[in-house]
Structure 1
């Protein structure tokens, strides 16, 4: 479902959070705002936020660029799949079940096994954006191994085209523009409300 702007009260957001019995997993291209939106969504829900990339780095005791350079992308994707599976299935604090917000790396949802697990055990939200916004946002960090070679616009356009079919399997589709993340979060909340 594609989602438009909406505003919910704090009480409505808290009631929604209580109705959800699984993690909310944000998927989409690098630079789309999964971590920024995820942190704010987790705060609204009073849930933990987990960035899968941070967890992968912690488990490997290496940065993602180091993992790519030392072991290659296939090794990274295998570790990513295992970490996301653990995060989805892991019980939360105080018997809260697996209720948390998880931001995944851009390629995670492309893996059929990871995608199947997310679709079965979580609420998948595809954050989407135009190429210009992705270029502007990804230029802020130099820790994106897939953008280290060649023209970033070309690479982002190719990856977005290749991954679109996988991302489109997420039940909630939200377009994140260049404006404030508050608008994107309102759309995510509306999408989750419709999913429930």
Structure 2
């Protein structure tokens, strides 16, 4: 949420000549509901169950760049499946940067539909931080810079090298 995963992921996939998969978009296509509708109808636990099934499906794909929602790490099975299928990268951004990127209110984000979205972002990041053990701090970097750093870290695994 607001970390830049769609922008970075799609540019990275294009640069690497790979397919880009947005997990939330895939969930929406499979269910015929938006993420916000799923949260409203089934609450967070119901959404996480659907997300877990989609992670298992996406983890079987090869040669693609996948953007997941930040809460995917709340289920250790998701982390294990994704780690087994490829490199995991956390696009880290400060709470203030995240709030600015999503428009300052969070009204379209189910978990941020609260009186103080900035406080909620801080709480979510603090809760998830232990799961984001190998974080890349992308706060203050532009999309192209983040993509270049990821390609550099991929090294010999990047196409064309």
TM-score, with length taken from structure 1: 0.75
Matched, 1:139 2:103: yes
What do residues 21-45 of structure 1 show as CA deviations (whole Å, max 9, x unaligned)?
Answer: xxxxxxxxx1101111000000001
| 2:74 match | 110
Distance in 2, matches of 1:159 and 1:67, equals 19
Superposed counterparts of 1:39-188, under 5 Å: 39-90=10-61, 98-139=62-103, 142-168=107-133, 170=134, 173-188=135-150
Task: Give runs of ≥4 in structure 1 deviating > 6 Å.
Answer: none
Superposed counterparts of 1:3-22, under 5 Å: none
Distance in 2, matches of 1:152 and 1:114, equals 26
- After the TM superposition, which of the residue ranges 179-188 and 150-159 deviates more from structure 2? 179-188
SS in 2 for 1:155: helix
| 2:5 match | 34
What do residues 98-142 of structure 1 show as CA deviations (whole Å, max 9, x unaligned)?
Answer: 110000011002211101111122111111111211110122674
SS in 1 for 2:11: helix
Tell which has more relative contact order, 1 or 2 (C-alpha 8 A, sep 6+): 1
Q: Which runs of 5+ in 2 are unaligned?
A: none
TM-score, with length taken from structure 2: 0.90
Instruction: Give the structure with the larger helix fraction.
Output: 2
Q: Which runs of 5+ in 1 are unaligned?
A: 1-29, 91-97
Matched, 1:189 2:154: no
What do residues 48-67 of structure 1 show as CA deviations (whole Å, max 9, x unaligned)?
Answer: 10100000011111011100
Distance 1:111 1:195, change over 3 A: farther
Distance in 2, matches of 1:59 and 1:154, equals 32
